[in-house]
C-alpha cells in the first residue's frame, strides 16, 4: 500500500490519481464506526440495564438501594478489565498491526454481550448468576479495552492530516449511534409489562448484539492495514516490546491523556448512567430516561464531527478546554434539575452535558490522543491513556455516585461537586498538553519531543486555509 495521504475529505488532489486510497479511507471509516457502534451499544445497554433492571434480576436478596449499588458495581467491573485488554491488545497492535487486533476485539466484546442475554437469573441459580454476569462483563471490558483505541488510531492514521480532526471523529458517531440504538431498544422493552420484562424481554437487546458482530467482522475482514503502520514495517522500525518503550519514553503523555479523559469519560457515564437512575428515583419513568439519552445521542451525532472539524481550524486544545468548561458550568444546575424527575429537564441537562460538553472534548480527542504518541507505540499509548482513565473516571463514577446518593438520601449536590471536580481536572490538564494539530504521524518521537525541524515542517505544511502542501511518502 502507498502510505501517502489524500488531500481532502473527497479524495481530491491525490484521490483523483489514487482511487484506492479514497476507497480504503471510506472502508476504514465504516469499519471503525461499526466497531464503535457495537462497543457503545453494548456499554450503553449494559449501563441502562444495570441502572434499571439488573438489581432485581441478579441481586434479588438485597434491598432496592443496595441492589442498585451492586448492579452498578458489575458495570464498573468491566472497567477493571479494560486496562488489561488495552495493554495486551495495544502491544499486539503495535507489533502485528491494527487490523488483526480489531477483528479479535470486536468478536470478544460482542460475543460476551450476546451471552449476557442467555444468562440465568439470581432466582434460577442463586449466587452463580451474578458470578457469570461479572465474568462476561470482564470479557466485554477486556475486548473493549483496545477496541476504541484501535479505531481511534486506525482512523487518525488513515485521515488526511489537515482534516484529521474531522475524519478521526467520524467513527465516533458510532458511539452515539450505538447509544441511540441501545436506548431506543431499551425504551421499547421497558414499555412491556414488568412480568414480561423481567422474565424474557430484557434478553432480546443483548441477543441482538450478534447481528452487529457479524456486520463488523465482515467489514473489517476486507480492511487494509493503516498507512503509517505499513510505513513503520517498510522502515523496519517495529519494536518487540511496545509496553517497555512506552514506559521509557511516554509516561508523561500517558498521564496527560488520563487527565484529558477524566471529564470526558467520567462526565459521560456520570450523566448518562447515574443521572438517569437518579432522575428515575425522583419520578422520571424508565422509558422517559431512555428517551432523554436517545435525544442527547441524536444531537451528539452532529456535535462530535463538528468539534473535530473546528479543532482542525483552531487547534485541539481550545476545543477540548471548552468542553471541560461546559461540564463544570452545567454540574450544579444540571443535577438540581435532574432531581425534579421531569423528562423535559432531563433532556435539556443530558443534551448540554453530553452533546456539547462531552462531545466537544471527544471531537478533539479523536485526533489528539493518537497525535500525542510516536508511531512505534501509538496503539499502546492511546489504549493506556484511554483505559486507565476509564477505570479512574468512567468505572468509578457510577459506583461512587450511587454510594454518595445512598449516604445522603438522594441529595443532588454531592454529585454536582463530583462532576465539577472531573471537569476541573481536565480543564487544568489542557494547559500541560502540547498542541498536536497536523502532526506527522510517521514520526517516532512523541508530541512535545519533536525537534525544531520537525515542528517547522509541520507548521509549514499548512497554508492559510489548512490545505496540505506536502505529503508523506
Q: What is the pLDDT of residues 127-145, one digit of tens each?
A: 788 888 888 888 888 888 8
- Contact assessment for residue 440 and residue 454, using Cβ atoms and an 8 Å cutoff: yes
More confident residue, 46 or 449: 46
pTM of the model: 0.80
161: domain CATH number is: 1.20.1250.20
Determine, yes or no, domain membership for 2. Answer: no
Average pLDDT estimate for 430-442: 93
Determine, yes or no, domain membership for 153. Answer: yes
* C-alpha–C-alpha distance, residues 66 and 55, integer Å: 8
Determine, yes or no, domain membership for 73. Answer: yes
Determine, yes or no, domain membership for 249. Answer: no
Determine, yes or no, domain membership for 369. Answer: yes
Work out the number of other CB atoms within 10 angstroms of the CB of residue 146. Answer: 34
Model confidence band, residue 457 (pLDDT cutoffs 50, 70, 90): low
Residue 311's H or E segment, with its range, is helix 286-314
Count the domains in the chain.
1
Determine, yes or no, domain membership for 18. Answer: no
Determine, yes or no, domain membership for 313. Answer: yes
Determine, yes or no, domain membership for 235. Answer: no
Q: Tell me phi and psi for residue 95, to 5 degrees.
A: -95, -40
Q: What is the pLDDT of residues 365-379, one digit of tens each?
A: 999 999 999 999 999
> How high is the pLDDT of residue 363?
94
Q: Which three cell numbers stand for residue 337?
A: 434539575
Q: What is the pLDDT of residues 211-256, one digit of tens each?
A: 878 888 888 888 888 888 888 888 888 888 898 999 999 999 999 9
Q: Which residue has the cell 499502546?
A: 380
One-character DSSP codes across 38-89: HHHHHHHHHHHHHHHTHHHHH-TTS-HHHHHHHHHHHHHHHHHHHHHHHHHH
What's the DSSP call for residue 440? -
Q: Tell me phi and psi for residue 378, to 5 degrees.
A: -70, -45
Domain extent, residue 95, equals: 23-222+259-459
Amino acid at each position: 500500500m502507498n502510505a501517502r495521504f489524500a488531500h481532502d475529505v473527497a479524495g481530491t488532489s491525490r484521490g483523483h490519481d489514487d482511487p484506492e486510497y479514497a476507497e480504503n479511507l471510506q472502508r476504514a471509516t465504516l469499519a471503525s464506526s461499526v466497531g464503535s457502534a457495537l462497543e457503545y451499544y453494548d456499554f450503553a445497554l449494559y449501563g441502562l440495564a444495570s441502572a434499571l433492571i439488573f438489581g432485581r434480576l441478579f441481586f434479588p436478596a438485597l434491598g432496592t438501594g443496595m441492589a442498585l449499588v451492586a448492579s452498578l458495581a458489575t458495570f464498573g467491573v468491566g472497567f477493571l478489565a479494560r486496562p488489561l485488554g488495552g495493554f495486551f491488545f495495544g502491544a499486539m497492535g503495535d507489533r502485528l498491526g491494527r487490523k488483526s487486533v480489531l477483528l479479535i476485539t470486536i468478536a470478544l466484546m460482542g460475543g460476551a454481550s450476546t451471552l449476557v442475554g442467555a444468562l440465568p437469573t439470581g432466582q434460577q441459580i442463586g449466587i452463580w448468576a451474578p458470578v457469570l454476569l461479572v465474568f462476561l462483563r470482564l470479557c466485554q471490558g477486556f475486548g473493549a479495552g483496545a477496541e476504541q483505541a484501535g479505531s481511534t488510531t486506525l482512523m487518525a492514521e488513515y485521515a488526511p492530516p489537515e482534516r484529521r480532526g474531522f475524519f478521526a471523529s467520524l467513527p465516533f458517531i458510532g458511539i452515539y449511534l450505538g447509544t441511540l440504538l441501545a436506548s431506543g431498544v431499551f425504551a421499547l422493552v421497558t414499555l412491556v409489562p414488568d412480568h414480561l420484562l423481567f422474565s424474557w424481554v430484557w434478553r432480546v437487546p443483548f441477543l441482538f448484539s450478534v447481528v452487529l458482530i457479524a456486520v463488523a467482522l465482515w467489514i473489517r475482514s476486507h480492511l487494509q492495514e493503516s498507512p503509517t503502520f505499513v510505513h513503520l514495517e517498510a522502515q523496519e522500525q517495529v519494536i518487540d516490546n511496545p509496553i517497555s518503550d512506552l514506559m521509557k519514553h511516554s509516561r508523561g503523555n500517558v498521564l496527560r491523556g488520563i487527565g484529558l479523559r477524566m471529564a470526558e469519560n467520567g462526565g459521560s457515564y456520570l450523566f448518562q448512567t447515574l443521572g438517569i437512575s437518579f432522575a428515575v428515583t425522583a419520578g422520571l419513568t424508565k422509558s422517559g430516561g431512555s428517551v432523554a439519552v436517545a435525544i442527547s445521542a441524536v444531537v451528539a451525532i452532529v456535535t462530535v464531527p463538528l468539534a473535530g472539524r473546528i479543532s482542525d481550524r483552531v487547534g485541539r486544545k481550545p476545543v477540548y478546554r471548552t468542553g471541560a468548561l461546559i461540564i463544570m458550568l452545567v454540574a450544579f444546575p444540571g443535577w438540581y434539575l435532574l432531581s425534579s424527575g421531569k423528562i423535559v429537564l432531563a433532556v435539556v441537562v443530558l443534551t448540554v452535558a453530553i452533546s456539547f460538553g462531552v462531545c466537544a472534548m471527544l471531537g478533539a480527542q479523536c485526533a489528539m490522543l493518537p497525535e500525542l504518541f510516536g508511531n512505534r507505540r501509538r496503539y499502546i499509548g492511546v489504549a493506556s491513556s484511554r483505559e486507565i482513565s476509564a477505570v479512574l473516571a468512567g468505572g468509578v463514577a457510577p459506583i461512587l455516585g450511587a454510594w454518595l446518593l445512598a449516604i445522603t438520601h438522594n441529595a443532588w449536590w454531592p454529585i454536582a461537586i463530583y462532576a465539577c471536580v472531573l471537569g476541573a481536572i481536565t480543564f487544568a490538564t489542557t494547559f500541560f498538553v502540547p498542541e498536536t494539530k497536523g502532526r506527522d504521524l510517521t514520526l517516532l518521537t512523541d508530541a512535545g519531543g519533536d525537534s525544531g525541524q520537525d515542528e517547522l515542517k509541520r507548521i509549514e505544511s499548512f497554508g492559510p486555509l489548512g490545505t496540505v502542501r506536502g505529503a508523506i511518502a
